[in-house]
Amino acid sequence: MSQPIFIQASTAIPRAILTTSYFHRPEELAAEANEAGFSDVRDLAVEGLAWSASQFRDAWSDPVQRERLMEFLSVIESEPSI
């Protein structure tokens, strides 16, 4: 996401609601962790897209579908563009 989109979005939201946090780009986070002395740094998804699917609760309740979902998430968890 480019900065102009963030600025455009943030001007529509009252300042009191926005965080003052810095949002890293994927390539920046690993570099910063390495600079801080960490080694073997990997970027992995903490929260993915699956929870937003309309049938997530049904899929999660079914052991077979849950296993498939977890397999899918393990494939994409290190994809930096997501």
Q: Is the pTM of this model over 0.75?
A: no
**Structure confidence by residue, pLDDT tens digits, 25-80:** 877 888 888 899 998 888 887 776 666 778 888 888 999 999 998 898 888 888 87
Long-range contacts of 37-44 (CB under 8 A, 24+ apart): 42/78, 43/78, 43/80, 44/77, 44/78
Separation between Cα atoms, residue 26 and residue 42, nearest integer Å: 10
Q: Which residue has the tokens 């965080």?
A: 19
Longest dimension (CA), the chain: 45
